[in-house]
A and B are shown apart, each in its own frame.
Chain A
Amino acid sequence: MTGLVVTGWSSITAAGVGEAPPLEPLPAARVTDLFEEALPEESAPVLTGFDVRAHLGRKGTGSYDRATALATTACGEALKAGSVEVNDATRGRIGVVLGTTVGSFRSTSDYSRDTLVQEKPYLVNPLLFPNTVMNCAAGQAAIRHGLKGVNSTVAGGPLAFHQALRYAANALERGYADVMLVGCVEEYSPHRAWQTAAARRSGPTGEGTAVFVVERADAARRPGSTVQAEVLAVATAFGWGDAAADALAGCVLRVLREAGVTAGEVTAVATGDAQEYEPAARALGHRPERVTVSELYGQCDAATGGLSLGALLGRRLGGVALLTARTRDGGVGAALVRGPS
């Protein structure tokens, strides 16, 4: 693949709007004070006091759910950070691809709930219907920021950010777009918190978003844009059941080969969960520093990959980092990123 570069980015976590995710635990908040519903935990590293109107104004934001508000705000911040000018000459060539698991679990389930608990099953709010569709955040980000280019939503769960990078790379290489906003988002809700608990996964449930301005590394890049990181290669694959670990190791070897990078140059491995490290280290032949943001930010599902990259860039990553991901059901991915030298 053609090399890609990141020329601006922004993330939103409990650390703040536009603050790089830190390589330390995010502050926990008393979620029992924030939600009316019962929760399986008293505290979790969620955003408190985030108000989309403070960033995007009142108009048009009233119907946003939390995931849409987070992603749409982060898209705006990323455009600013990358000095991307959106005007009638450029808007058709600027695209968005966002990663999710199911969109907003809460919006969809609450909508479905209304068909059961209202006096009539059809007494649902038509204005909120689009929030039940998984492309809501990407569509609203396009509306808010006037982006008429390729607009896509990948439902990859923990693999979503890698898949979004792959999708964006294709759109850029094929010449469908000049600039892609590549991001991922997950909101905290009672639904997700109970889902994490039911799966007996460690730690609290988290939330956040990260959005990156991605362009081609070659002459197609916007003049004057500043390279903040190079995305050297991204690969995703599938290995069912016992084949998943080997499939992940295979992705690692493939990105090394495609990037023309030796395993020895990899100085950090950011994994989605702890089980990814062994197959990655096996493929690399050594054991670089491990970063696992789910241990610091709670289970962030689809947002994990983007937050991992944000955390690496935030500490001014030197050298090459490997980012790995996998779904429970056999999807695997690897990406190689070089920080600013």
Chain B
Amino acid sequence: MPRVVVTGLGPVSSIGTGIEEFARGLRAGRSGISEITGFDVSGFPHRRGGEVHDFAPEATLRRLTPAEWGRSSQFAAVAARLAATDGGFDPAGDEPGRAGAVIGTTSGESVVMEALTEQIVTTGFDGMSPGLLEQLPANRLAHAVSAELGLTGESLTLATACSASNYAIGYAYDLVHSGQADVMFAGGADSVCRWAHAGFFRLGALTKDACTPFDRDRSGILTGEGGAILMLESLEHARRRGARIYAEVLGYGLNCDANHPVAPDAASIADCMRTAQRNAGVKPSEVDYVCAHGTGTPANDTVEARAIFEVFGPKPPPVSSIKSMIGHTMGAASGFGAIAAIFAIDRGFLPPTINWTTPDPAFADLDPVPNTARQARVRVVQNNGFAFGGNNAITLFGALA
């Protein structure tokens, strides 16, 4: 069966847009956290998040008119265009229908949803703008990518919350691996919004100033936003056109806690890791780095660390969380994790967990790559994604052997 490789990367993040900026941000341990401006935060005790400032979709998009699309679709389309440019994507000469898009999201067009809700509050239901209503359906995230890049294959939005990018990468990998597609653009997008900020605050899961994953005193997430898309293609297709190959997608695993809508489950997450490793043909000892889900909530990091020790034994590989830098970008989160994982393989550095000061005695032997990026020779990376609804999804990437 065809092997699947990554040949293009498109990050649109609070620490940089495009691979060089994003890589520089990760390597420098830059923080993308600032006071939120996308909505009025004055009534909230906590006011910070990982917004993408100065987002200028018109500078990158070639086919879409940004005003016709919601913010999350714009993130997806810009990230996809960046990935396509990076990967030298050229559909000319390919059989039609063999390239597609799979985009993950938590809240879809949340900014559009909130604008409509304001119209309902201000003028009533009949005040909802037809133009905004047309922008609301979440299928438009994938369609924005397909339309922007002229893709005629599957165009699918997967709405599996905060692991959705890993779902998308996994499904896209399957389509290429099983010979149903040559090229797939896969990843995720989400936008910072008021209701999620409020909801996480009321769950007691939102921190005030800085996200500090795996620190003893961690106190929650900061919401973030952006788009993170990978160009996947079959190895043969990539070689035929002489493409630069970043890494190979080795496989992935999915499962469902079927236990609690918001509380993670260590045994189930450990099972998901084993499933992903088995599907990818990777032994725990072969994994050089774990790009963690690492939200920075007390519960997630404890549960994730416990599952890691259960699967990897007492000396697991380094485990860091890029959410310390960009916040929790929801449906884009494991897409950014995948890009960081590929940098680890292709550029030989582990992104740090910034804001880290104090080990948690509950997992004292976990190495979070504290505060400073580390040079390392990395062959295999495991990229974790967990979500509300118990939707666990883990992808594995490896250096092309």
Contacts and interface: CB of A to CB of B under 8 A. Distances in A.
Interface of A: 37-38, 40, 91-92, 95-96, 100-103, 105, 108-109, 111-117, 120-126, 129-130, 132-136, 138-140, 142-143, 145-157, 159-160, 163, 166-167, 170, 173-174, 176, 190-191, 194-195, 197-199, 236-240, 243, 247, 250, 327-331
Given A148-B268, A190-B125, A108 B154 contact: no
A238 B143 CA distance: 8
A199 B133 contact: yes
Interface residues of B, number: 82
Q: For B105, B109, B146, which residue has the most chain A Cβ atoms within 10 angstroms?
A: B146
B97 interface: yes
Closest 10 CB pairs of A and B: A139-B389, A155-B138, A134-B159, A151-B256, A129-B199, A238-B155, A155-B159, A194-B125, A126-B202, A142-B258
B258 A115 contact: no
B156 A156 contact: yes
A166 B125 CA distance: 35
Given A148-B256, A176-B254, A238-B154, A136 B125 contact: no
Contact of B143 (A166, A174, A330): A330
Contacts of A240: 143, 146-147, 150
Contact of B389 (A95, A102, A138): A138
Contacts of A145: 258
A122 B197 CA distance: 8
B65 interface: no
Interface string B194-216: 11101111111000000000000
Contacts of A163: 154, 156
A147 B194 CA distance: 32
Contact of A132 (B107, B116, B120, B171): B107
Contacts of A328: 134, 137
Interface of B: 40, 43-45, 97, 100-101, 105-109, 113-114, 116-118, 120-121, 124-126, 128-130, 133-134, 136-143, 146-147, 150-161, 167, 171, 174-175, 178, 193-196, 198-204, 254-262, 268, 271, 279, 387-391
Contacts of B40: 121
Nearest to B143: A329
A101 B138 contact: yes
A116 B167 contact: no
Contacts of B161: 133-135
A244 B154 CA distance: 13
A109 B152 contact: no
Contact of B43 (A40, A114, A121, A124): A121
Contact of B137 (A40, A139, A147, A327): A327
Nearest to A243: B152
Contact of A143 (B120, B124, B157, B390): B390
Given A149-B255, A170-B171, A135 B387 contact: yes
A243 B150 CA distance: 11
Contact of A125 (B137, B146, B174, B202): B202
B106 A134 contact: yes
Contacts of A123: 202
A95 B391 CA distance: 11
A101 B139 contact: yes
B374 to A, nearest CB: 34
